[in-house]
A and B are shown apart, each in its own frame.
Chain A
Amino acid sequence: MSNIPADLKYTKSHEWVRTLANGNVEVGITDHAQGALGDLVFVEVPEAGKALKAGDSFAVVESVKAASDVYAPIAGAVVEGNAGLSSQPELINSEPYGAGWIMRLKPGGAPSGLLSAAEYQAHLDAEG
């Protein structure tokens, strides 16, 4: 069973979103996603200032198995990418909701269409 913290929001494409105290959001990939990808070996994070629309690919995560795009859950401007991932991509495997965050974003508007933890769990169950 994968870990789905109740205090985060999710997307059907397996990103998670955490709202930070200053109103920015932190984005990463879920425990389920990291498990499906396997050991991460390379991560390309976005540069600060990059403008994203919801659904834009903003990062590439590559495991021993395959490369996978990570999509922006909401529109906004990139505040920073997680520089630590370039030397330690495995942080996404070990701490997908903590040190394995991928970017911080200043939202361009109110987030919409995100899933609650329960809804994400239901989505995983439906995907089989």
Chain B
Amino acid sequence: MGRRTPLYDLHVGQGARMVDFGGWDMPVNYGSQIEEHHAVRRDAGIFDVSHMCVIDARGPRVREFFSKLIANDVAKLTQSGKALYSCMLNEAGGVIDDLIVYFLTESWFRVVVNAGTRDKDLAWMRGIAPQFGVELTERTDLAMLAVQGPNARAKVAELLPAEHREAALALEVFFGRELGPWFVARTGYTGEDGFEIMLPADEAARVWRTLNERGVKSAGLGARDTLRLEAAMNLYGNDMDENQNPLESGLAWTVSFENPARDFVGRRALESLKSAGLEKKFVALLLEDRGVLRGHQKVVTGSGDGEITSGTFSPTMEKSIALARVPRGTGAAVQVDVRGKLLNARVVKAPFVRHGKILVS
């Protein structure tokens, strides 16, 4: 038996098919994954993401701590509540995890890391925190819900007390703030608008059911995966890990080299990789033949072989899509070894889908 979130009984009661995900018993779907996917693209869906790990980092030098710890630059966080997506690297430039960090005050930042990596992440962070006098607290008292879709924010706002409603709806993209006992952030992992809500664990089931009653559809990890892949958002463990650097994982935009004085962990390794010349690049693929692209399939190109890191059938496009790491010189046309057959695929500009619209033709 795996670990359970505060919503485990609710999922089982709603008929969810439960699977192991990073040591947690999580709902993969509540019936039809495709219907859940469409609900998020067209209306609103709710995901239990309580397995993710919320950590509060406190201390007067907490900004310096993150400046060292992560590859993106927290100097970009000038307004309270602003969030930053980043990788946390090892000395070799490999990705320990990807995370979101919120700047709340000069002595309090909040960071959210992946479920499957929580133990190693905490150990790594605790190795660096003492130099900066930063104290790390796991917020296991909080549940986390992701409410996503074009109507998601309005549905959540209806549940908030009047004095918080306006503040929630005024949140800009990639900002979060405390509203009473809730922390509400305009973030997500679907390519749609929406909120991620951290709230006391004992309130989660009531909020979930109330949102269901207002037409927000329960959605599982299956839909979460097809949605994030259509949005071309990386999944840790599939698209990057400790053996891959962010520059060859489509995450160069999250690495900030701008301040030459900022000595973040992994910087020197990435700089020597860059000066030696990167060998791979990270691309989005659209399958032109019939079939389904999957992780670990071989990508055959004129410049050598690459590998699919995540692949699926896109319910929105009704075609198969993938992310892949391929040789730097790869052109627009590639082939993928799908169960022994070479199928034609095309390198396209990511993302595939955003805010309900297909962006790739």
B290 near A42 with CB under 8 A, answer yes
A42 to B315, CA, bound (A): 12
B294 near A41 with CB under 8 A, answer no
A93 contacts across to B, CB distance below 8 A: 32
What's the A-B contact tally at a CB cutoff of 8 Å?
41
Q: Which of B17, B33, B290, B339 contacts A64 (CB 8 A)?
A: B33
A36 contacts across to B, CB distance below 8 A: 17
Q: Which of A38, A44, A62 contacts B33 (CB 8 A)?
A: A38
A118 on the interface (CB 8 Å rule)?
no
A51 contacts across to B, CB distance below 8 A: none
A77 on the interface (CB 8 Å rule)?
no
A54 on the interface (CB 8 Å rule)?
no
A39 on the interface (CB 8 Å rule)?
yes
CB distance from A94 to the nearest CB of B (A): 10
B292 contacts across to A, CB distance below 8 A: 41-42, 62, 67
B315 near A64 with CB under 8 A, answer yes
Chain A 18-50, CB-CB to B under 8 Å as 1, else 0, gives: 000000000000000001101101101000000
* Given A39-B34, A41-B292, A42-B292, A65-B28 contact (CB < 8 Å): yes
Place the interface of chain A in its size category: 10 to 19
Q: Which of B222, B226, B339 contacts A67 (CB 8 A)?
A: B339
Chain B 287-316, CB-CB to A under 8 Å as 1, else 0, gives: 000111010000000000000000011010
A115 contacts across to B, CB distance below 8 A: none
B249 on the interface (CB 8 Å rule)?
no
* Given A38-B28, A42-B313, A64-B34 contact (CB < 8 Å): yes
Chain B 14-34, CB-CB to A under 8 Å as 1, else 0, gives: 000100000000001100111
B339 near A60 with CB under 8 A, answer yes
B313 near A38 with CB under 8 A, answer no
Number of interface residues of B (CB under 8 A): 17
B29 contacts across to A, CB distance below 8 A: 38
Q: Which of B17, B294, B315, B339 contacts A35 (CB 8 A)?
A: B17
A49 to B51, CA, bound (A): 51
A34 to B313, CA, bound (A): 17
Chain B contact residues, majority secondary structure: mixed
* Given A35-B17, A65-B222, A41-B28 contact (CB < 8 Å): no
B313 contacts across to A, CB distance below 8 A: 41-42, 62, 64
Most chain A Cβ neighbours within 10 Å, of B28, B312, B313, B320: B313
A60 to B312, CA, bound (A): 15
A66 to B222, CA, bound (A): 11
B222 contacts across to A, CB distance below 8 A: 38, 64-65
B294 contacts across to A, CB distance below 8 A: 66-67
Q: Which residue of B lies closest to A39 (CB)?
A: B34
B339 contacts across to A, CB distance below 8 A: 60, 67
A65 to B221, CA, bound (A): 10
B312 near A64 with CB under 8 A, answer yes
* Given A35-B17, A64-B226, A67-B339, A42-B33 contact (CB < 8 Å): no
CB distance from B242 to the nearest CB of A (A): 25
Q: Which of B32, B291, B320 contacts A39 (CB 8 A)?
A: B32
A38 contacts across to B, CB distance below 8 A: 17, 28-29, 32-33, 222
Most chain B Cβ neighbours within 10 Å, of A36, A38, A44, A93: A38
B33 near A39 with CB under 8 A, answer yes
CB distance from B28 to the nearest CB of A (A): 7
A41 contacts across to B, CB distance below 8 A: 34, 292, 313, 315
CB distance from A46 to the nearest CB of B (A): 14
Most chain B Cβ neighbours within 10 Å, of A62, A64, A65: A64
A46 to B320, CA, bound (A): 22
CB distance from B258 to the nearest CB of A (A): 40
CB distance from B348 to the nearest CB of A (A): 19
Given contact pairs A62-B313, A64-B313, enumerate 6 new A-B contacts (beta carbons under 8 Å).
Answer: A39-B34, A41-B292, A64-B315, A65-B28, A67-B294, A86-B290
**A-B residue pairs in contact (CB < 8 Å), sample of 18:** A35-B17, A36-B17, A38-B17, A38-B28, A38-B29, A38-B32, A38-B33, A41-B34, A41-B292, A41-B313, A42-B320, A60-B339, A62-B313, A64-B33, A64-B312, A65-B33, A86-B290, A93-B32
| Interface residues in chain A, defined as those with a beta carbon under 8 Å from any beta carbon in chain B | 35-36, 38-39, 41-42, 44, 60, 62, 64-67, 86, 93
